[in-house]
Structure 1
Amino acid sequence: MRPQKRRRGFTLVELLVAISILAILAVLGWRGLDGIVRARIALTQQMEVTRGMQLAFAQMQSDCEHLAPRSLLGNRVNLLWEDDRLTLVRKVYNENEPTQLVVVSYRVVNGTLVRRESRGTRDLVQLDALWQAVASDAPTESATPVVLQTGLAAMGIQVWQANAWRKEAAPATEGGQPLEPDGIQVSLTSQGLAAPMVKALLLGGT
């Protein structure tokens, strides 16, 4: 009888080496998958931030396009701007109703962009009171705050006046009348984006 060949199995060392290789491959695969998931989450968050800013810019554009001219306000102030704050008077058109005036304010508070809009009026004396209430951030039922965007680091504002972008108003004319700006540039800096988003808006009341 021929002697039976002895079947050779894996040694303990070979099994340990194989298990170690599989473990290394599993760790590398998990790290790669984890990186992909994290990148996707970050990209989704950036897209949400960008979308929120675009909606905020769209609302600002609507307000600026309907800016009430100073001539309609008895030469009252219709626009004030500074870093992290924008206040203006705009016209509102409701169906089958006369045009009304409202005071609108944008302000960044604790990283949140908030828009406040007063009730409509056609009385300029009442408009003065509404302006004071909105500009002072006093709590009032006539100007309910609406959150437009969170996670902001800053809001910067410049106006196009006397053929240049300015952070401060240009000097008045020789007659003492302030120059009307033709446009406004708003930059929103988010905590999740490397660079601010900038939007130039035309002012419809000029």
Structure 2
Amino acid sequence: MPRLTPSLSGRGFTLIEVMVALLIMSLMSVMAWSGINGLLKSREIAQAHLDHSARLQTVMAQWEADLRAVQDSGAAPALTFDGAALRMTRQQPLGMQVVVWSLREGRLLRWEGPVVQSSTELGDSFERSARLQPQDRGQLRTLEGVGGWQLYFYRGNGWSNAQSSDDFSSEAAPPVAPPASGNGNGKGEGKADGKGDGANKDDSGPKRQILPSGVRMVLDFAPDSGFNGKLTRQIILGPQS
């Protein structure tokens, strides 16, 4: 009988061929995963930038809203800056409110006092705002990674440092009238000669602060803040009623 030989077309893969095929598939899987991982990381980075930008825009919108509502009540300074905190009194539908923006340990914070309706309460709230401590409650962390800030007020025809540009009107509080002389019988006699001496004019009374017409803020961001360089934002203050 003739001897039958196995057909070459029917033989299976060798172990080496299987290992080579598995190696190729592994390399393709790694390359595919690297591509997917890169896309996911790019998406996360893009989303983080969008979140940072959205938060920054929200904070700047609130800052502008506070300044546009600044109102000089006469009971407390309407707008002051001491290098660490910007304090203001702003108008609310139900009264007046003290708002403080401050920079502490790389964080831009915002604090707001209660809405009050009397001059005494407004003065007390302003004094309380000057004693705020980092651990006090009610201070909202608006931005992280702020390395420094500078504020400028616009008065006249130019910008000047907000710490050295306070201006006051020449209007002083009216002097107290002297008591009239009397004769002890309930009748008083007053004399006035109509003469005045300009050298004796008393203008030492309290003077009213003149608000700037514009405010400029420059934020210097830290390298790890997610923002690059500096941000400059300026605003024109609203009219005083």
Give TM-score, length-normalised by structure 1. Answer: 0.74
Which residue in 2 is equivalent to 1:186? Answer: 217
Match of 2:186? none
Alignment root-mean-square deviation, CA: 3.3
Normalized against structure 2, the TM-score is what?
Answer: 0.65
Counterpart mapping for 1:48-127 below 5 A: 48-69=51-72, 72-73=73-74, 76-81=76-81, 85-94=85-94, 100-127=95-122
Q: Distance in 1 between matches of 2:38 and 2:84?
A: 36
2:43: which partner in 1?
Answer: 40
Q: Which moved more, 1:17-26 or 1:59-68?
A: 17-26
Q: In structure 1, list runs of 5 or more residues that go unmatched.
A: 95-99
| Percent sequence identity over aligned pairs | 19
In structure 2, do the counterparts of structure 1 residues 85 and 28 end up closer, same or farther at CA, with 3 Å as the change threshold? Answer: farther
What do the CA deviations read for 1:152-197 (whole angstroms, capped 9, x no partner)?
3245242242444443333758969866322223345371222444
The residue number in structure 2 matching 1:97 is none
| Aligned match for 1:136, one of 131, 135, 155 | 131
Amino acid of the structure 2 residue aligned with 1:38: K
Q: Distance in 1 between matches of 2:233 and 2:18?
A: 63
Equivalence for 1:152: 145
Contact 1:161-1:181 within 8 A present in 2 as well: yes
Question: Aligned partners of 1:156 and 1:48: how far apart in 2?
Answer: 22
Deviations 1:16-38, CA, capped at 9 Å, x for gaps:
22222221221122122112111
Residue 161 in structure 1 maps to residue 192 in structure 2:
no
CA distance in 2, matches of 1:153, 1:58: 17
- Specify the alignment match of 1:170 in structure 2: 165
| Correspondence for 2:238 | 204
Opposite residue 151 of structure 1, the aligned amino acid is E
- What does residue 27 of structure 1 align with? 30
- Offset from partner CA, 1:80-111 (integer Å, 9 cap, x none): 235553211111223xxxxx222111123444
What is the Cα deviation at residue 133 of structure 1? 0.6
Question: Does the 8 Å CA contact 1:84/1:155 hold for their aligned counterparts?
Answer: no
Structure 2 SS opposite 1:103:
strand
Q: Structure 2: state its 5+ residue gaps.
A: 171-206
| Residue 4 of structure 1, CA deviation | 4.5
TM-superposed deviation, 1:132: 1.5
Question: Could you tell me whether the CA contact under 8 Å between 2:213 and 2:237 is conserved in 1?
Answer: yes
191-200 vs 20-29, greater mean Cα deviation = 191-200
1-structure distance, mates of 2:20, 2:34:
21
Matched with 2:190 is none
Letter in 1 for 2:154: Q
Asked whether the 8 Å contact 2:108–2:146 carries over to 1, the reply is: no
